[in-house]
Structure 1
Amino acid sequence: MKYKDYYETLGVSRDADLDQIKKAYRKLARTYHPDMSKAPDAEGRFKEVAEAYATLKDTAKRAAYDELGHPPAGAEFAPPPQWRQDFSADGSAFDDLDLADLLASLGRGQRGAASASMPRKGRDYESAVTITLTDARRGSTMNLTLADAAGERTLEVTIPPGVRQDQKLRLRGKGGKGHNGAPDGDIYLHIALAPHAVFRPDGLDLYFDLALAPWEAALGAEVEVPTLAGPVLLTVPAGTRSGQKLRLRGRGLAEGSSDIYAIIHIEVPTTLTDPERALYLELARISHFNPRKVAPKENPR
C-alpha cells in the first residue's frame, strides 16, 4: 500500500484547523475543476484534492490517518497491526485496499459491528462553480461533474437567481447514498463570481465607475449607463461631485432588492480647441468658485 500525503496535497500544515483545510480545498477545487481548468492533469489533481479533503475534514478519519505517522509520499507501508484486529473481521480485509479505501473502511469490521445495521446518512460532498454576474442575477442551469466513491457522475444543477460571491448552496440528497434507510447525503456548492469588465460586486449590490465631463457634473445630465439587463438612462443631478455615488434601484444581483451604484469621476479634457479654451478662460474670469476653500467649522458647544 502506498502512502499519500493529504496535507501536502492540500498545501496545509499537519496542525491546520478545519477552516484552513476548507479554505485550501475550495481554492484548489476551483483551480483544478475539470470545467474550469484546461491543464491536462486537472481531472487527476481534482480527484486527489477531493480525496485528501474527504479524509482531513472527518475527525475520526483524520485521527486514524495521523496514526499512520508521516512516511514519504509514495512510500510503501502497512497499517498498524492493531487495525487488522479492530477493523477487519478476517484479518485480511485490508490487503487489496489503497489508502483512501482503507480509511473509508474504518468502522465496517468488528469495531463497527454493533452499529452496522444502524441507519447512516450518506456522505456529503463539496464542490465549487464559477458563474457570470448575468447568470448570478437571472439564475442558470449547468452540469456539475462529481468524483466520489462510485466514480464520476454528472448532475444538472440549478443556480437560483440572486446568488452572491462565496454563497454556499445545499443540494439535498445529491451526495452519497444513505445506508439502512437513512437519507442520502448532500452536496454543498460554493459559488464564485467571474470577474466582470464593468461591474464590481459587493454582496448583492454592484458598483461601476462613471466618467462625467465637467459641464455634465455642474449642469446635470441624462447619461446612458450599463446594467446586467441592458443600458438605461441615469439622471445626473446638477452639482454632482467626483466620488459621489448615484444609485440605480433594484438593478443589482437580486432583482428588485439590490442596487447598482455609479461612482462618479469627473474627467477634464486634455486638449482644447481655441473656442473651448476661450470659454474656459471666460469661466475662470467670471467664476467665484474656489475648490480649495475650506468651509468654516461650527464652534463646538
Structure 2
Amino acid sequence: MQFKDYYATLGVEPGAGDAEIKTAYRRLARKYHPDVSKEAGAEDKFKGINEAYEALRDPEKRAAYDQLRNQGYRPGDEVNVPPGYGGGAGGFDFGDIFSGGAGGGAGGGFSDFFESIFRQRAGGRQGGAGFGGAAPNQDTRARFAVPLEAVYAGESRRITVNGKQLDVRVPKGIRPGQVIRLAGQGTGGGNLLLEVDYANHPQFEVDGRNVLHTLSVTPWQAALGASLSVPTLGGTVELKIPAGSEAGRKLRLRGRGLPQAGGAANGDQIVELEINAPAPTDEAQRKAYEQLAKAFGQSV
C-alpha cells in the first residue's frame, strides 16, 4: 500500500499545533464538502481531509503516525506496516467502526493505510471491560463516531463492525461518552458496547448543547444588513444580519442546537460572522474598490 502524508493533505507543517490543524481541517472541509463543492473529485478530497484530521487530532494516533513517517517515507512510497502496529492507540478498532457510514455522509470509510496503522489486531487486550479483542461471550467495546444530524434528529445509522453490518438506533440528543448497547453483537456472542463520540463536521462545532457555525459575509452585507441562508442541523433557515455588524459578532438562532433528554428545550445555534472581501476580478470591480477607498480613507 502507498504511504499518505496527512500533514500535506491538510496543508500544515509536521510541527503544527492542535489549533492550526483544526483550522486547516475546517477550511478545507468547507471547501470540498460534496454538498457545496462543484469541483471534480471533491468527494474523494473530502474523504482524504477527514482521514488526515482523524489521524492527527488524537495525540496517540498522531504519535503512531509520526513514528512511521519519521522513517523517511514520502507520498506514493510503498510501505508495509508491521502487524499490530499502532493497534494499541486508544484500544479501538478504528478500521471497522468508521467504515460503512459511521462517520456520516461522504466522510465514512477510511483507507487501508489508515486501517493498517490504527486497527486493533486480534490477540490485543482482552477481558470483559477491555477495548478490542474481547474473549468469547464477553463485552466488546468500540467507539461510534455519530454524525451531528443523527444526534439532532434521532435516527438509525448503518455501521460495519468486524465485517458485519449493523443498524444502530441513535437516541435523540445522546451525549459523548454515553454507550449504546447491542445485545449479542460482540465477540463470541457477547454484547457490543458503542461509546459515543461526535463525528467531525465541516460546518458545525458543539459547545454543550449549543451548535457553533461561522458565517462568511461580504463587507457590504455587514455594513448595510442582509438576510442570508444559514445551514442548521434541521435544515436551512434565513438569518437577518443587522446593519453595522462587525467581524466576530455572534447571532443566536434559538432552539436550533442539540436536543435534550426529557423534552427540555433544545440548545441554540450561535452564528459568528466572518467578513471576507472578495478579490476584484475585472476593471469595474477594481474601480469600485478604489471609490470605497476614497470614500472611507485608508484607516480602519
TM-score, with structure 2 as normaliser:
0.51
Q: 1:24 aligns with which of 90, 95, 104?
A: 90
- Is the CA contact 1:10–1:24 (under 8 Å) kept in the aligned structure 2? no
Instruction: Determine the structure 1 residue equivalent to 2:170.
Output: 159
The alpha carbon displacement at 1:158 in A equals 0.8
Letter aligned with residue 215 of structure 1? W
Any residues of structure 2 matched to 1:199-214 within 5 Å, and which?
199-214=204-219
- Is the CA contact 2:94–2:120 (under 8 Å) kept in the aligned structure 1? no
Give the percent of matched residue pairs that are identical in Structure 1 and Structure 2.
26
Any residues of structure 2 matched to 1:56-205 within 5 Å, and which?
123-143=138-158, 155-164=166-175, 166-171=176-181, 173-174=183-184, 186-205=191-210
Letter aligned with residue 256 of structure 2? R
Could you list the runs of 5+ residues in structure 1 that have no partner in the other structure? 1-7, 13-20, 59-99, 106-121, 178-183, 292-301
Instruction: Determine the structure 2 residue equivalent to 1:282.
Output: 295
Deviations 1:85-135 (A, max 9, x none): xxxxxxxxxxxxxxx9xx969xxxxxxxxxxxxxxxx63221223333222
Letter aligned with residue 265 of structure 1? E
* Count of matched residue positions in the alignment of Structure 1 and Structure 2: 198
Instruction: Determine the structure 2 residue equivalent to 1:39.
Output: 112
SS in 2 for 1:25: coil
Instruction: Determine the structure 2 residue equivalent to 1:267.
Output: 276
Pair 1:48 & 2:57 matched: no
Q: How far apart, CA to CA, are the structure 2 residues paired with 1:265 and 1:204?
A: 22
- Is the CA contact 1:11–1:24 (under 8 Å) kept in the aligned structure 2? no
RMSD: 4.2
- Is the CA contact 2:180–2:194 (under 8 Å) kept in the aligned structure 1? yes
SS in 1 for 2:144: strand
CA separation of 1:123 and 1:234: change in aligned 2, threshold 3 A? same
Pair 1:248 & 2:253 matched: yes
Letter aligned with residue 281 of structure 1? K
Q: How far apart, CA to CA, are the structure 2 residues paired with 1:142 and 1:275?
A: 51
Q: How far apart, CA to CA, are the structure 2 residues paired with 1:171 and 1:247?
A: 35
SS in 2 for 1:242: coil
Instruction: Determine the structure 2 residue equivalent to 1:111.
Output: none
Letter aligned with residue 226 of structure 1? P
Could you list the runs of 5+ residues in structure 2 that have no partner in the other structure? 1-82, 101-108
SS in 2 for 1:281: helix
CA separation of 1:186 and 1:32: change in aligned 2, threshold 3 A? closer
Q: How far apart, CA to CA, are the structure 2 residues paired with 1:275 and 1:157?
A: 55
SS in 2 for 1:277: helix
SS in 1 for 2:156: strand
The alpha carbon displacement at 1:277 in A equals 3.0
Question: Highest CA radius of gyration, 1 or 2?
Answer: 1
SS in 2 for 1:48: coil
The alpha carbon displacement at 1:267 in A equals 2.0
The alpha carbon displacement at 1:163 in A equals 3.1
Q: How far apart, CA to CA, are the structure 2 residues paired with 1:270 and 1:161?
A: 43
Q: How far apart, CA to CA, are the structure 1 residues paired with 2:248 and 2:84?
A: 45
TM-score, with structure 1 as normaliser:
0.51
SS in 2 for 1:253: coil
Instruction: Determine the structure 1 residue equivalent to 2:47.
Output: none
Letter aligned with residue 177 of structure 2? Q
Q: How far apart, CA to CA, are the structure 2 residues paired with 1:279 and 1:37?
A: 48
